Structure 1
Amino acid sequence: MKITIIGGSKGTGAQLADLARTAGHEVTVLSRSGTATDGVTVLTGNATDPAAAARAVSGADAVVVTVGGAKGVSRQRAEVTRTVITAMQEQGVNRLLVQSSLGAGDSGSQLPAPFRLVMKAVLAKALADHNEQEAAVKDSGLAWTIIRPTGLTDKEPAGKWKALETTDAGQLGGSIPRRDLAAFMLHTLTDDSTVGKAFGVSS
């Protein structure tokens, strides 16, 4: 599979790039820094630039958006995602996976109880960005999946995860190692039953 990762120079995106490359996939990373794990194609550019986004998604079988916020930009994630969606529509690329955050959309009920008020207060701006991002994804007409992790850590991966839709029974934990989240994302890309769904994810 040819996978393009938008924002794959660090964090979960870098972990996903490494796992996908190791699994034999052809990986392209678009980032402002122009850095990425060994063995992948690296494109330097800002994903809010339509030309850069078009170049990155051209020929891809799937596109993953893992960007974070940007200093001085109130809706960075939403702006990047909209630009990437337009590029995918123009290039005929259909499979989209987007990393959002637990608490966004209708997932507030999945937050562990001690975190609910804190998340709403401390991460209000980030969640507003994710809400706008998710709305663009759901309106895109693409084969999308939204991933909403709990708190991300750099701990050693456990090799497992818990993934729940808002309609599922059960409770999510407070964190997940980035490597485990990346492994779930890679799994999701090859599972057609996840299309059109949003998952809260934790250890």
Structure 2
Amino acid sequence: MNRSPSTSRRTLVKLTIIGGSKGTGAQLASLAQAAGHEVTVLSRSGQGPKDVRVLTGDAVSPAAAAAAVAGADAVVVTVGGSKGNPRHRAAVTRTVIDAMKEQGVQRLMVQSSLGAGDSGSLMPAPLRIAMKVALAKPLADHNEQEAAVQGSGLDWTIVRPTGLTDKEPAGSWRALETGDSGTLRGSIPRADLAECMLGLLEDPASIGKAVGVSS
């Protein structure tokens, strides 16, 4: 499916982004804030986009995760890898899930990667082979992360982008679920991915789905 407006949107007011100091998370935080949402970012650096509430802390800490998700209508996890911890994404995601359950927050979105789970079929064969070789360790982390999300009992959506770039956004993208016809391209600008994620987050039809995204 290509970019299209949804006829059914969920009203979100308070959004927490775990790992929103830079990259896609920061882009999403800025977009959501501009759209009128109250945005909280949790980051180890204590940095975040302008006009966004920023909490300093490591999301693998139950206390930090609980403080970040308290009162949120939805939570998005966009953390990257971490030196010395090959399962950092999975560890953060499990801690956030536990915090959400304790705080009564139900809506969760996680940024994974194309190639994780059952999404290999959405890539052209040469790219599929290259991803398995070059990104074996990150994909193992994402697989564990996705398993935690899918078994969480929360209202989850998994977003699996192709390679991320800092190019100017095109304002459009291609989104496919496993089993859809066609394949995805090799990259997408972070700004386009962030806009796609915000739309999916507000769309109840995306709950329980894992979506691959590229330009």
Query: Please, what TM-score do these two structures have when normalized by structure 1?
Result: 0.99
Offset, 1:112: 2.2
Query: Contact conserved, 2:21 with 2:49, CA < 8 A, in 1?
Result: yes
Does structure 1 residue 156 correspond to structure 2 residue 156?
no
Counterpart check, 1:168 vs 2:180:
yes
Identity of aligned residues (%): 73
Aligned to 2:157: 145
Q: What is the match of residue 21 of structure 1?
A: 33
Deviation sequence 1:57-106 (CA, Å, 0-9, x none):
00000000000000110100000000000000000000000000000000
2:121 aligned residue (103, 109, 126): 109
Distance 1:120 1:167 in 2: 20
Deviation at 1:168, TM superposition (A): 1.0
Structure 2 counterpart of 1:51 = 63
C-alpha distance in 2, partners of 1:117/1:158?
A: 27
> Which amino acid in structure 1 is aligned with residue 199 of structure 2?
H
Matches of 1:159 and 1:86 in 2, distance apart? 35
Q: In the TM superposition, what is the alpha-carbon distance from 1:113 to its structure 2 partner?
A: 2.2
CA distance in structure 2 between the partners assigned to 1:74 and 1:102 by the alignment: 18
Q: Which amino acid counterpart does residue 139 of structure 2 have in structure 1?
A: L
* Partner SS state of residue 175, structure 2: strand
Structure 2, gaps ≥5 residues long: 1-12
| 5+ residue gaps, structure 1 | none
Matched, 1:96 2:108: yes
Distance 1:113 1:149 in 2: 17
Say if 2:77 is the partner of 1:65. yes
CA distance in 1, matches of 2:113, 2:28: 17
Q: Which amino acid aligns with 2:148?
A: A
Shift of 1:115: 1.1
Moved over 6 A (4+): none
Equivalent in the alignment of 1:189:
201
Aligned letter for 1:45? G
Asked whether the 8 Å contact 2:121–2:183 carries over to 1, the reply is: no
**What secondary structure sits across from 1:199 in the alignment?**
strand
Provide the C-alpha distance between the structure 2 equivalents of 1:167 and 1:60, rounded to a whole number of angstroms. 33
Letter in 2 for 1:61: D
Instruction: List per-residue Cα deviations over 1:108-148 (Å, max 9, x = no partner).
Output: 11112221111101100000000000000000000000000
CA RMSD of aligned residues (A): 0.5
Q: What is aligned with 1:3?
A: 15
Amino acid at match of 1:37: P
